[in-house]
Structure 1
Amino acid sequence: MAFSHSLPMIRLAVLSAVTILSLIVLALCAHLLSFTNKFLGAGTYFTFSALGLATALLSLLTLPVMIFIDFKRNGAFTSLIAVELGWLGFLWVMWLATAGTTASSNAPGTSCSNFIISEVKTACSELQAVEAFAFLSWIALFFYFISLLVFSAVASSKGNGRVWFGTVKETDFNADSVHNHGEKAGVSVNQVPMTVTPAAQYTGQPQYPPQQGLGQPAQVHPSYPQV
């Protein structure tokens, strides 16, 4: 599976793209919160803007850190596959909730050009942008999450149970377990060839050639004179 070898590059591309999108969504939601406080009263806000602000902030505080630590240190806790799956799974759920909430706030068939006031028209465009960027972030994280989960599960089924505690950069998802690899490499060192003599066919015990120990005198048979 050549695709598994591209997972480190896909990981970097996805986390970097979501970081950029999070920065844009953070700015848009912050402006929408300012807009509602100005025109609808202090303390008034749209649910999607508050949720989008929180989701984007969580992504900005964690994703760049995960990228940076993975470059600087091998086997870091934040780069472990089990940790990465848990956190990215939480983030794509948050992005999906943000996208769904924003879509429900956007009236279907509404065109921002219908509004006369420029501030309202700008807010309408920002709402649609938040919806689009939230869906893009969700799709990117969900695609990488599913890919990483599938490859890790396949590697674990081959006997490589330590895959969950490895990193994407260092893990070979196509490798078999160490035990299976050893069996395929050659014969075990414990297998000793035996030769069976005809006497062993009756006694049932393997016969080995006698070995003379070190330091033992050789046995000499005396010769007797013939009479």
Structure 2
Amino acid sequence: MAFESHVKRGHPITFGLMIIFGIIELALSAWLTSRFNARHDYSSLTERDRVRFVLFACCWTIVLGFFYGILFWHSASGSVLTSVASHLLFLILTWIIWTAAAVSVTEMLGGGLNCKTQAIFNYCSQLNALEAFAWLEWLLTTFALIVVIIRGIKAARGGDGYRGSLA
């Protein structure tokens, strides 16, 4: 089975998972942001700001992931927006955003919290889940980026260049 058919089958699955986990992460970060805004019970301004950045990362991923998913479903080949270069640009930016989000939350929590022993953070379980889903989004984005890079190398060797079709 050709690599392109795997891409056609795997693109909706990968982007669908990115969107689903993005929605879960959106729910967590939006809930935490609303609690912080209403109660001002964050432990520091960095906690508040990092949760807001994760909220931005979720919105970015959901909106643009949905956009790319619909475009790929409509026209897997032949569109500039479904090209290797377009996906590469989107995924590189998304990878940078999720790397920053996951690392910043991990650093803030010191690698994870033991909710039975810590007394600094008010929403321990939610913050642990926020960290876990941020790394899951990073992992999915990394996987998609690697596949697009491999497809880009194949397209460049085949003479299509990076403007060539992803599928």
Distance 1:154 1:166, change over 3 A: closer
Structure 1 residue 111 corresponds to structure 2 residue 109: no
Structure 1 residue 53 corresponds to structure 2 residue 51: no
Aligned mates of 2:27, 2:102 — CA distance in 1: 16
Q: 3-state SS of the aligned residue for 1:113?
A: coil
Q: Is the 8 A contact 1:96 1:138 kept in 2?
A: yes
Residue 20 of structure 2: aligned partner: 20
Q: Is the 8 A contact 1:10 1:144 kept in 2?
A: no
Residue 161 of structure 1: aligned partner: 159
Residue 8 of structure 1: aligned partner: 8
Kindly report the root-mean-square deviation, in angstroms, between the aligned alpha carbons of the 2 structures.
2.4
Aligned mates of 1:106, 1:132 — CA distance in 2: 11
Taking CA–CA contacts closer than 8 Å with sequence separation of 6 or more, which of the two structures ends up with the larger relative contact order?
Answer: 2
Structure 1 residue 72 corresponds to structure 2 residue 70: no
Q: Is the 8 A contact 2:155 2:164 kept in 1?
A: no
From 83, 88, 91, the equivalent of 1:88 is: 91
Q: Is there any run of 5+ residues in structure 2 with no aligned partner, and where?
A: none
Distance 1:156 1:166, change over 3 A: closer
From 97, 113, 120, the equivalent of 2:100 is: 97
Larger radius of gyration: 1
Residue 31 of structure 1: aligned partner: 31
Farther off after superposition, 139-148 or 86-95: 139-148
TM-score, normalised to structure 2, is: 0.83
Q: 3-state SS of the aligned residue for 1:165?
A: coil
Aligned mates of 1:15, 1:105 — CA distance in 2: 28
Task: Give the CA deviation at 1:3.
Answer: 4.4
Q: Is the 8 A contact 1:22 1:56 kept in 2?
A: yes
1:21-72 CA distance string (max 9 Å, x none): 111111111111122221438xx66222111000100111111111112222
TM-score, normalised to structure 1, is: 0.63
Distance 1:78 1:48, change over 3 A: same
Q: How many residues align?
A: 161
- The percentage of aligned residue pairs carrying the same residue is 24
Aligned mates of 2:30, 2:40 — CA distance in 1: 14
Q: Is the 8 A contact 1:48 1:102 kept in 2?
A: yes
**Higher-helix-fraction structure:** 2
Aligned mates of 1:147, 1:50 — CA distance in 2: 30
Q: Is the 8 A contact 1:80 1:168 kept in 2?
A: yes
Q: Is there any run of 5+ residues in structure 1 with no aligned partner, and where?
A: 170-227
